[in-house]
């Protein structure tokens, strides 16, 4: 199904938090692909460590001269990293044929700009994301506990905007085959709203539901009827947990469908509970190998 001109303009600005890791490069490729899909503007944000954060070490018995040396070293290291990330950005936009410059109105083609600022990464990202249609976050590196990802949770909890979690390897396509993880919660409803522009241009959309996933609220048939009002035609499939894990079952069903985008609500239960006991959101964040569109 294809969208109207109005629908194709639905996503106009994306923001990407970029670092020099392999996952960061994959996320940059995914974000540039999304910008091309929507003829949108992509702001690539790199947050440098603020050398002034070293100052509190004065209370740790270090002399003023030692602290000053640490601040200078921090500034130099941050400048080198910012340069490396800028080179990564310039190479990627050239490969993707995206114009470096300010946002364009109308169908002027995708654009991108690079912004490097010093400060606290999670605070700056959350603030800047509030005036973006979508925030793109790199997948956590191997061995990193995604539940402690301050940047990811800053957007989810403090920006009011949806998050697109990029897989560790750049996807070949985004949004042609969409799965919607539905459980009737407010969080999954927010994710559906964020995904509607994508669903309008998708080839096929499947709603994934399970008795073990469903909460009190509208069921999959209700969602199907609602999406039909938006001229989005869907099919419904039931999945089962894998090894008692609902998250594994949901992700397995999306993989079996060949989905290149999974839309779902984040943290229907508290983040603390999921951190301690595990949960659907945590499993998806740690194991997803496809783009995941999340809202809460």
SS3 218: coil
β-strand pairing of 41-48 with 111-118: parallel
Q: CB-based contacts of 213: which residues, under 8 Å, 6+ apart? A: 181, 183, 239, 246, 249, 250, 280
Q: CB-based contacts of 87: which residues, under 8 Å, 6+ apart? A: none
How far apart CA 264 and CA 156 sit, in angstroms, is 12
SS3 145: coil
| Per-residue model confidence (pLDDT) at position 254 | 98
| Per-residue model confidence (pLDDT) at position 1 | 44
Packing angle of the helix pair 150-158, 121-129 (nearest 10 deg):
30
| Per-residue model confidence (pLDDT) at position 273 | 43
From the list 243, 233, 238, 266, the residue with the least C-alpha distance to 253 is: 238
Domain extent listing, the chain: 5-165, 177-295
> What is Dmax (Cα atoms) for the chain?
68
Superfamily of domain covering 5-165: HUPs (3.40.50.620)
> Which residues, in sequence order, are bridge partners of residue 45?
17, 115
β-strand pairing of 99-100 with 177-181: unpaired
DSSP H or E stretch at residue 283:
helix 280-287
CA 79 to chain centre: 26
Fold observed for domain 177-295 = Rossmann fold (3.40.50)
Q: For 193-212, what is the mean pLDDT?
A: 96
| Per-residue model confidence (pLDDT) at position 61 | 60
Q: What is the pLDDT of residues 86-133, one digit of tens each?
A: 999 999 999 999 999 988 776 778 999 999 998 888 899 999 999 999
Q: What is the pLDDT of residues 2-57, one digit of tens each?
A: 444 444 458 999 999 998 778 899 999 999 999 999 999 999 999 987 656 655 55
Per CATH, 5-165 and 177-295 having the same topology is answered yes
Evaluate whether 53 touches 23 at the Cβ level (below 8 Å).
Answer: no
Q: Give long-range contacts, CB 8 A cutoff, 24+ apart: 218-225.
A: 218/184, 219/182, 219/184, 220/182, 223/180, 223/182, 223/192
Q: For 172-194, what is the mean pLDDT?
A: 95
- Phi then psi for residue 205, to 5 deg, are -130, 130
| Per-residue model confidence (pLDDT) at position 277 | 37
Higher per-residue confidence, 142 vs 170:
170
Mean of pLDDT over the chain: 85
User: What's the start-to-end Cα distance of the chain, in Å?
Assistant: 27
Q: What is the pLDDT of residues 247-268, one digit of tens each?
A: 999 999 999 999 999 999 987 5
């Amino acid at each position: 199904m294809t969208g109207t001109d109005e629908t194709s303009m639905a996503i106009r600005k994306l923001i990407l938090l970029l670092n020099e890791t392999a996952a960061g490069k994959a996320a940059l490729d995914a974000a540039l692909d999304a910008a091309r899909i929507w003829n949108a503007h992509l702001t690539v944000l790199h947050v440098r460590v603020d050398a002034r954060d070293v100052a509190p070490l004065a209370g740790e018995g270090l002399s003023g001269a030692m602290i000053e040396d640490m601040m200078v070293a921090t500034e130099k290291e941050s400048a080198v990293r910012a340069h490396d990330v800028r080179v990564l950005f310039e190479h990627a936009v050239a490969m993707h044929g995206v114009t470096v410059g300010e946002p364009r109105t109308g169908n002027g083609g995708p654009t991108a700009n690079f912004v490097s600022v010093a400060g606290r990464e999670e605070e700056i990202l959350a603030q800047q994301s509030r005036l973006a249609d979508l925030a793109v976050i790199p997948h956590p590196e191997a061995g990193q506990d995604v539940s402690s990802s301050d940047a990811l949770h800053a957007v989810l909890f403090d920006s009011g905007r949806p998050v697109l979690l990029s897989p560790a390897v750049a996807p070949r396509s985004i949004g042609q085959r969409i799965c919607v993880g539905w459980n009737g919660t407010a969080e999954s409803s927010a994710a559906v709203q964020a995904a509607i522009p994508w669903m309008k241009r998708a080839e096929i959309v499947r709603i994934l539901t399970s008795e073990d996933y469903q909460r009190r609220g509208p069921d999959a048939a209700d969602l199907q009827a609602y999406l039909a009002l938006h001229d989005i035609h869907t099919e419904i499939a039931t999945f089962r947990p894998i090894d008692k894990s609902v998250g594994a079952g949901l992700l397995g069903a999306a993989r079996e469908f060949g989905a290149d985008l999974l839309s779902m609500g984040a943290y229907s239960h508290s983040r603390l509970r999921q951190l301690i006991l595990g949960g659907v959101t945590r499993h998806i964040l740690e194991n997803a190998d496809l783009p995941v569109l999340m809202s809460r």
